[in-house]
Each structure stands twice: as C-alpha cells, then as structure tokens.
Amino acid sequence: MLLMVAIGYVFSYLIPTKQKSIALTISSNQAFFLAQSGVEFAVRYTTDNGLSGLSNPISRSLGRGSFTISYEPAPTDRLTSIGEIPNTSQRRIVVSNFTSFLVKQLVLDPGSPSPCWTLGGQRARFFIKNIGSSNVTLTAFTATWSDSSSTRIREIHMDGTQKFFGNYWNGDPRQNLNRGGNNQVIIPNQVIRIDVYWFNPYVTGNIIITFYTGTGEPYEFDLGGALLPCL
C-alpha cells in the first residue's frame, strides 16, 4: 500500500510538471515563428520603403504576441527580430548581411539596350530601372574593373546630367556624387541612362559599378566584360 501511494504521489507531481513543460515549449516555438515573421516583414518593408524606413525599431502585434525589428546599417548591416509571447517566451533571430536578402529596387532595365561602349570606347552606357514602389536617392558610388590598365573614371552622368567629376581609380573607396545636386532621385518605374566616362586607355575587362543611397544601401551593377559598341 505504501509503495502504491508513493507511485501515485510521484505521478501526481510529474503530470502537471510535464504539462507546464509542454506549454513552455509551445510558447517558445510561437515566439520563434513570430521572430521569423518579423524578418519576412522587414524584407517586404524595405523593398517598399528602403532601408531608411528601418532607422527606428518597428513593432507589430500578431496572434498571441508581437515582433520587434531593428536594423544596424553598414558596415554592420545586421537585422535583429525579436518575437515575444507576453510573460512567457521570447526568441531572437539575427540576420547578418541583411541587404543581400533584399529584392533590389534598382535593376538593369531589361527593356533597354544592354551595357555598351560609345565614343570609341571612352564611355560605358547602361540603363537602370526602379522596380520598387518608393523613390531611391543615389548619393555615392564605387567601381572595380578586372583589367590592369591605368585608366580611371573622370565623369558620371545620370539621365543626361553630370553627377560626378574627378579621378576615380579602380577599387578606390566610396566616392560621393559631386555635381548636379550631389544626388540622383529615381522614382518608381522610372528608367534612367547612366554614362560613365574613362580617361584613355579605356577599360577592357569586367566592370562592376555600385551606387549607394544616403543610408548606405548598395545597388550593384555588373556590366560584364568586352562590351560591344552601342548601336
């Protein structure tokens, strides 16, 4: 009888404890999925509003809890999403190199001519399009090219207006636009022409040009190598 009483007491103690443990596991999983929802929300939000929209933390209620997202700009480029079930569980997801997961608002325009050379190879021309739903303001650039020539970029024109004048060497640090208002605003669905002028000799290898917004959001354009003359 004593043995049976003891076994009954143990079971009566373990069953409620097990139920509490299961409840905590469920709440923890719910908090994790809330944090994951925060990451997905951040990707869509920045696609529509740009990274500047994440300058302050954003919280949203969802189901039994909520999520809060915060972003640390370049060079950290890190998004933190916290999912929380009140008074029960909290889970955190950290996404490094966050901008690499975004659907870029600026792309090489598929409806325009491919990147090409004009002026006998001294000017590269390409077209970019804003496929997002908000304005993008470009303020700086970097560039690299794969050949070893001593050429350098001397001018950049956007939509027919000069935006940069100087001496930019292959792989130099980020350079601010210094002409035409020091920036270029591209509205949704707008296509603009980019003209990049080099000193002689012109570039013969692969060219990558990256433009940046004021918040450091990068838009990289790989122009390829051995560009053909523009038609």
The string of pLDDT tens digits covering residues 41-85 is: 998 887 667 677 787 899 999 988 999 999 987 778 899 999 999
pTM of the predicted model over 0.85: no
pLDDT of the residue at 162: 97
- Cα distance between residue 110 and residue 108, in whole Å: 6
pLDDT of the residue at 59: 94
In contact, 38 and 5? CB cutoff 8 Å: no
Q: Express each pLDDT in 104-133 by its tens digit.
A: 788 889 889 989 888 666 889 999 999 877
Task: Give the angle subtended at the CA of 17 by the CAs of 11 and 20, to the nearest 5°.
Answer: 145
The neighbour count for residue 211, using CB atoms within 10 Å, is 25
Q: Which two tokens stand for residue 139?
A: 């303020």
